[in-house]
Chain A
Amino acid sequence: QKEVEQNSGPLSVPEGAIASLNCTYSDRGSQSFFWYRQYSGKSPELIMSIYSNGDKEDGRFTAQLNKASQYVSLLIRDSQPSDSATYLCAVNRNNNDMRFGAGTRLTVKP
Chain B
Amino acid sequence: GAVVSQHPSWVICKSGTSVKIECRSLDFQATTMFWYRQFPKQSLMLMATSNEGSKATYEQGVEKDKFLINHASLTLSTLTVTSAHPEDSSFYICSARLVGGSYGYTFGSGTRLTVV
Contacts and interface: CB of A to CB of B under 8 A. Distances in A.
Given A34-B105, A41-B91, A43-B109, 12 more contacts: A31-B103, A43-B108, A43-B110, A44-B93, A51-B103, A95-B101, A99-B46, A100-B43, A100-B46, A101-B43, A102-B42, A103-B43
B49 interface: yes
Which secondary structure dominates where chain B touches chain A?
strand
Interface residues of B, number: 23
Q: Is the interface on chain A under 10, 10 to 19, 20 to 34, or 35 or more residues?
A: 20 to 34
Contacts of B44: 44, 88, 100
A98 B44 CA distance: 10
27 contacts: A31-B103, A32-B103, A34-B105, A41-B110, A41-B112, A42-B109, A43-B6, A43-B93, A43-B107, A43-B110, A44-B93, A45-B107, A51-B103, A88-B43, A88-B44, A92-B103, A97-B34, A97-B46, A98-B46, A98-B95, A98-B105, A99-B46, A100-B36, A100-B46, A101-B43, A102-B43, A103-B43
Interface of A: 31-32, 34, 41-46, 49, 51, 88, 92, 95-103
Contacts of A102: 42-43
Contact of A96 (B49, B104, B106): B49
